[in-house]
Structure 1
Amino acid sequence: MTGSSPEASPGPLFVVGAPRTGTTLMMQILNRHPRIYLYDEIHYFELIWDDRESIGDVDSPQVRPRVYERVREMLRHVGSHREIADALPDEELARHASAAGGGYRGLLTSILRAGADHHGADVAGDSSPQDVLYIDQILEWYPQARIIGLVRDPRGFLSSYKNYHRRGVATYRERYNPLTNSMLWRSYMRALQAGARKHPDSVAVIRYEDLVDDPPTHLKRLCAHIGVPFDGEMLNVSASNTSFGNEETEVRGIVASSRDRWRTELTPTEIWLGERIFGREMQALGYDPAGTGGPSPWELLKVGAQLPRRAFNLLFRTGKPLTWAKLRRVLGSFRSG
């Protein structure tokens, strides 16, 4: 794990990474700490910040009612925080936003503060994985912010994405393609690596596999990075596999049962194709190539035939917000390096 200790007074906290890399687990762990509350993916930067040209001046009396209702809808339906949204009047949003300097930064500060206050916490934040694309913006607004970037073996990421439909999320099957999903992981990891290089004191990078292998050691380091004491209750999360819906038994604690599952869930062709795309980033993050044989020509043809439809589904039929600004960021990562 990289990243160093912060100032004594913790700033806001953001958990970022690629989807299916352990960001939900990290959010659950951190929310067991009595001083921390993170939203479960509100996507503020995609839904509000990226749409600022059409929204306008959020401090304007004419704009406030409309944007504040939009914030409440975001909390209710994107982040699943109805209880906070329903208890968040315009006056409270405006007061906290103004105290934080107003504008879009002040609005986000007010939203984060509302969540933390609702749960009696003093460290506020969010766990939208895609905020990895906004690291520079986050740290421009909040120089004292702490960012935790989750990394996972990209083959484990592919396996998780491939099998998420087993939980009844059928659209995941229609969004899975080893080519496009490998490029997605690569683009997000490039953004995370760039952010960590540029802001080494603010961005802590932790591998999912290291976290589940030795939770106490790595959580103590993360707590030092955030600026809070370690709390043993953080280890007492509800551990259930979020990709494989046939596993219904709930276990308390952080378990490592899924870390190498890709070895049996992915085909040699999927592994071969993925490693051709993300191999450089994978090895830079400490993951060794699998050394599988060559691909199946027939499976490659199938992947190619499915590519246009599934790439479209991955970008536009996710159930999560997509803006052209975000799309440009992702495509820029595809082209870079």
Structure 2
Amino acid sequence: MATSVLPPVRPVFVLGCPRSGTTLLQLMLHAHPRIALPPETRFVLPAYERRLSFGDLREPVNRAALAHWITGRRETRFHELGLDAEAVAGRIADGPPTLGSALGIALKAYAESHGKARWGDKRPAYALHVEEILRLFPDAQFVHLVRDGRDCVASLLGMPWWHRGFHEAVATWAQVMDVTRRYARRLGPGAWHEVRFEDLIADPEHQLRVICAYLGEDYDPRTTEPHRIARTAVPARKTWHRRTRGALDTSRAGSWQQRLTPDQIRLADAALDDRLARYGYEPSGAVRPDPAELLRYRRVFALRRAAHAKRRLLDHATRLREPGPVAAARPLR
């Protein structure tokens, strides 16, 4: 009698503009009995960016060094996953000789520690690095959370770690919307799903049913109660995520009207006009901003776009020197 073989599970990546609610969505999915998404790590993109320094991963000594780099340094935040670093390092060293496999083994170990089959990661920065994630995990499924750009900007300006100012915050949301739009078109509904933050908190059950269907998972009502796991799943040092510990709060939507100044609202409306409309966000009706401020914003946005294009060119040049493939082997052991 033939034995059916289940296809390997696809990794799940949650992304979006900073302060768009990605931590809330991470907790919702982490509450699912089959899905585990860890607190934000700092080893996936940094490892990819310095991949040449790890050498040929077909050499056991290089895999062992990579394993230590992932599990033994506080900068990677691996310690926040609550895993046995030595055991995970051993699995990486004994695993397939690709960077994606090494990173996937660490994320899979986190899922296994919670008794779950699906693994993945959440980090807003992935919104501008989808190409890198696809190279590491070609079968990844992405969930893009979209929030009114004016709310993202207002929230960013209140963060203790945001030091780039108002114009940079507006340009960040605009760039994320432009980049993710291209990948939504390229990847299609089998690998890319978008949901608005406002819709998620207004009708979480419906939106989570849609997300679960996209991921090929059964809906579970526990996903609508992320606050039940927030204290254990969000590091205590992240005080800016304290709202995740309470019930869903629809008042968070549209708070930009009280948190931004009239001048900031005018500039945000003018700079983000078409992008806001594309996602169903109504303009404030404010008059045009000061031309000098709009020019300043455009310069900031142009610099961000140029920096992103430069990173893409450098990445393609680096690929020519890779000693071997980087994609994760499937399935991972």
Interval containing the TM-score (normalised by the shorter chain): 0.7 to 0.9
Query: 2:202 matched to 1:213?
Result: yes
Q: 2:172 aligns with which of 167, 177, 184?
A: 184
What's the CA shift for 1:293? 3.1
Q: Which runs of 5+ in 2 are unaligned?
A: 1-5, 314-333
Superposed CA RMSD in Å reads 3.6
Confirm or deny: 8 A CA contact 1:10 1:144 kept in the other structure. Answer: no
Q: Which amino acid aligns with 2:200?
A: L
Q: Which residue of 1 aligns with 2:115?
A: 120
Aligned to 1:317: none
Higher mean displacement: 147-156 or 186-195: 186-195
The CA distance in 2 between the partners of 1:115 and 1:253, in whole Å, is: 26
**Equivalent of residue 266 in structure 1, options 239, 260, 264:** 260
Over 3 Å counting, the alpha-carbon distance change for 1:216 and 1:250 in structure 2 is closer
Distance 1:40 1:247 in 2: 11
Q: Which residue of 2 aligns with 1:109?
A: 104
Unaligned runs of 5+ in 1: 1-6, 315-323, 331-337
Matched residue, 1:135 = 130
Q: Please, which moves more after superposition, 7-16 or 274-283? A: 7-16
Q: Aligned partners of 1:251 and 1:40: how far apart in 2?
A: 15
For the 8 Å contact 1:16–1:129, the answer to whether it is kept is yes
Cα deviation, 1:155-210, whole Å, max 9, x if unaligned, reads 0001110122xxxx2x42x33x2211111111111121111100112100111111
CA–CA distance in 2 between the matches of 1:295 and 1:144? Answer: 44
Q: Give the aligned residue type for 1:53.
A: L
The one-letter amino acid of 1:65's match is: A
**Kindly, what percent of the aligned residue pairs are identical?**
26
Matched letter for residue 109 of structure 1: G
> Which residue identity is paired with 1:105?
G
Match of 1:321 in 2: none
**Equivalent-residue separation in structure 1 for 2:111 and 2:219 (angstroms):** 18
Distance 1:128 1:246 in 2: 15
Q: Tell me, yes or no, if structure 1 residue 285 matches structure 2 residue 273.
A: no
- Map 1:47-196 onto structure 2 (within 5 A): 47-73=46-72, 77-78=76-77, 81-84=80-83, 86=85, 88-95=87-94, 97-98=95-96, 102-164=97-159, 169=160, 171-172=161-162, 174-175=163-164, 177-196=165-184
Distance 1:146 1:82 in 2: 22
- SS of the equivalent of 2:87 reads coil
Question: Would you say 1:39 and 2:38 are equivalent positions?
Answer: yes
Counterparts in 2 of 1:187 and 1:66: CA distance versus 1, 3 Å: same
User: Structure 2-normalised TM-score?
Assistant: 0.77
Q: Equivalents in 1 of 2:139, 2:52: separation in Å? A: 27
Count the aligned residue pairs.
298
Matches of 1:118 and 1:146, distance apart in 2 = 22
Contact kept, 8 Å, 1:39 with 1:79, in 2: the verdict is: no
1: CA distance, partners of 2:8 / 2:142? 15
Query: Normalising by the residue count of structure 1, what TM-score does the alignment of the two structures yield?
Result: 0.76
Cα distance between partner residues in 1 of 2:8 and 2:89: 28
